Structure 1
Amino acid sequence: MKALQGVKGQLHWQEQPGEPLAAGQVRIKVAAAGLNRADLLQLAGHYPPPPGAPEALGLECSGIISEVGAGANWQVGERVCALLAGGGMASEVVVDAQHVLPVPEGLSLAEAAALPEVYATAWLNLYRLAALRPGEKVLLHAGASGVGSAAIQLCKAFGNPCWVSVGSAERLQHCQKLGARGGVLRSENLQDLRDFAPFDVILDPVGGAYAALNLQLLALDGRWVNIGLMGGREAQLDMALLLGKRIQLTGSTLRNRDEAFKAELMSELAREVWPLFARGQLTPQLEQVYPATEAEAAFAKLASNQVAGKLVLCLDDSLS
């Protein structure tokens, strides 16, 4: 099989043997794989896969089940998408059957490849870790990103008014069309977020550069979930403000969670989130699909920070 590897900052398609199939696993013939910022970090050598995970890039994929291990509740030929610790950008992948979901009715395999990672991340951090309650207000930094676009739609579906910070007027418009109440451009004045504060929950992939502002914007008993370090790893915090507001600060990653945790999370998505696609309350925000031969262009586009929604790499357009 072929797999896309990141070697010293360069992308290479490499031939490698397929993985053996164990009980409780399925083999998926990959149609498409979603691109995520974690793939950029892995390519740059900053985010290696967890022990035992494939070295190939790709944290989510879609395709057709080609083999089913003992005890796995799937059938050969079913259209699925999967959450992965790595290896999605390959001609096939072996994954725990409990980390697999059906392609929502009416969606293409390319659209389905853009779902697992962002909706799992948004649901985990907003509704499990931050324990959002109906009516509570949310601030989403990088609101036009894949995770941000998913989070806006979830907030709208579950009754949580949300605001965003974004990089351009076009991306702010994108967020408002999805359901955001408003927001600010990071290139202008982030302090204008005070006009919409206080927020009960902040979902932040930026980190250091936004830390002090987050403390100011949060309400009493506010929850701040940090999921990335795009703005640096160090920050100076007013601990008296953290203490006085009883703020909960949570650092969160998904890739290195254990198999059982991911299985439970995917079960929640199947129950709480996936039905919303059929009702039209959630829609994939797929900006562009790249053929496998244009992987470098796809990664360059993602690195440009000029993306609203998701980018997908097509591995096999003959699958349907």
Structure 2
Amino acid sequence: MYIKEEIWIEKYRPERLDDIVGQDEIVRRLKSYVKTRNLPHLLFSGPPGVGKTAASISIVKEIFGETWRNNFIELNASDERGIDIIRHKVKDFARMAPLGEADFKVIFLDEADALTNDAQSALRRTMERYSATTRFILSCNYSSKIIEPIQSRCAVYRFKPLSPEAVTKRIKFIASEEGLRVSDGGLSAIEYVAGGDMRKAINALQAAALLGDEVDEETIYQITSTAKPEEIKSFIKTAISGDFVGARAILDDLLLSKGLSGQDVVIQIHRAMLDLDDIADRDRVKLIDRIGEIDFRMTEGANERIQLEALLAYFALMASEQR
């Protein structure tokens, strides 16, 4: 099959606010700004891949039309985190008069939570000084990392993870456009892998499409190096039953055969814990508490294999204590 050169997350990036799925209430409120052509400073916060950047660019396109690039600049704060990006790039663009018949320019600062506190303080002053001719749209994953003076100057919109229905709707549209057949199992697998992130969903679909025109459950899990939810549940139940050796064999398969990282395994164990019905609530609390401790240790640099086996040992010890 011919390998498509286009990256689908760019090819199918929403061009209008109406194209953004899963954020209906936010889109409805943003449309009022477009209708009145009166835009305040905006702060978009939320997890990756839920439409923050798409919403920002869509607003600008709908307000300025074909000439939107003349009065818009997009900067990624994670590239340059210090105060210099504010003193030079941002301030130089902000002090310029709008071009054409536009009433203001728009500066979109992506991943603004990566800015240092000094840079954010300089940005606050710039927003205040040039508010007559410049509007700022800030995008971040964690609004708590944005200093309070900036938050108070912005209309804050909190984007939520996309629902499975929203992901399915968009995936079906892309599959139709690309001539793909996606099975029901394939759609469920994409929903699970994406976890509310549309970029993950579209990337998984494109990667699977390179192997053929039919996308099924097996292909999605194989392409994304993800274990099936049933496999993780079986893994947990084996450990909780006290069969440490059996659980360790399944762990070997996940790490060596399927190529999962230790962090991937912990995240999937945590997701599966909430769906297991045959565990007492008190035991579930203890297990999730230990999962959090193991995740922290691995994040701090501890050996993944040792930590995962320690988690399995804890599961097995709990089983022996209940006998």
Same fold flag (TM > 0.5): no
Q: TM-score, normalised by structure 2?
A: 0.29
Q: Normalization by structure 1: what TM-score?
A: 0.29
If you compute each CA radius of gyration, which structure gives the higher value, 1 or 2? 2
